[in-house]
Structure 1
Amino acid sequence: MDKQSLFVQVANLEERIGELYVELGTLKQKIQDLIEENLRLQRENERFKEESLEGKTPLEPRSAQENLLRIYREGFHICNVKYGSLRTEGECLFCLSFIQKT
């Protein structure tokens, strides 16, 4: 086996590894999106269960400020930076500053 064919094989392997790395990154993002959606749906399900046990109807009219506070307390961002995404790392300064403005 000559050096040229070894170099070509290594280059091809390196290219395939790069493609697999990109595919792995895509799969990782999809998994993260599914986990966030699952957590959101679990929280929403729990909220509906609590409201049904308390005798409340889930579609009570609320003000926009109350809705934003409720969304934030359920663990989601209400700031313009990450609106609607799950808060995984505690409090968000952008959200808190938005809440104080209202």
Structure 2
Amino acid sequence: MDKRTLFDKFHRVDTNISSVGEDLKEIQEKMNHLIEENATLQIENQHLRDRIEYMTKEIVPNLEESEPEMSKSRQNLQKLYEDGFHVCNVYFGTRRIHDESCVFCLDVIYGEREQQS
């Protein structure tokens, strides 16, 4: 092998190694950035979990206490609705296709009604 060919091969190998080194440095910088971002997100996620736990303990029991209990007739309508049947006056007794929600049924079950005296 002559000196020129050897020098050209050495130069190509050196260029390739330099390129790989630059790629590795770029990947390492991105990896460091991702690790830092992941750590930040884990901390933020833990803070949010703590906040949700606090709110669940403090607020939800208060809401449950303030909600009036559903009457027996509405509980029966809710059971029929959960079994897949309409309970509204529009589609009463027909089966709900693919258990889709029905605004009319939900209003009948959970809607606010005026007390009739």
| Structure 2 residue aligned with 1:53 | 53
Equivalence for 1:27: 27
> d(CA) in 2 for partners of 1:53 and 1:5?
71
Structure with the bigger RCO (C-alpha within 8 Å, sep 6+) is 1
Q: Spell out the pairing of 1:1-12 with structure 2 (5 A cutoff).
A: 1-12=1-12
- The higher radius of gyration belongs to 2
TM-score calculated relative to the size of structure 2: 0.45
Q: Distance in 2 between matches of 1:49 and 1:8?
A: 60
Match of 2:40 in 1: 40
Deviation at 1:47, TM superposition (A): 0.3
Return structure 1 stretches of 4+ with deviation > 3 angstroms: none
1:4-58 Cα shifts (integer Å, max 9, x gaps): 10111001100111111111110000001111111111100000011111228xx
In 1, Cα distance between equivalents of 2:8 and 2:52: 66
Structure-2 separation of matches of 1:13 and 1:46: 49
Gap runs ≥5 in structure 2: 57-117
The root-mean-square deviation of aligned C-alpha atoms, in Å, is 1.3
Distance in 2 (alpha carbons) for counterparts of 1:47 and 1:25: 33
Q: Please, which runs of 5 or more residues in structure 1 have no aligned partner? A: 57-102
State the AA in 2 paired with 1:36: E
1:82-101 equivalences in 2 (<5 Å)? none
TM-score (norm. length: structure 1)? 0.52
Mapped partners of 1:16, 1:52: distance in 2? 53
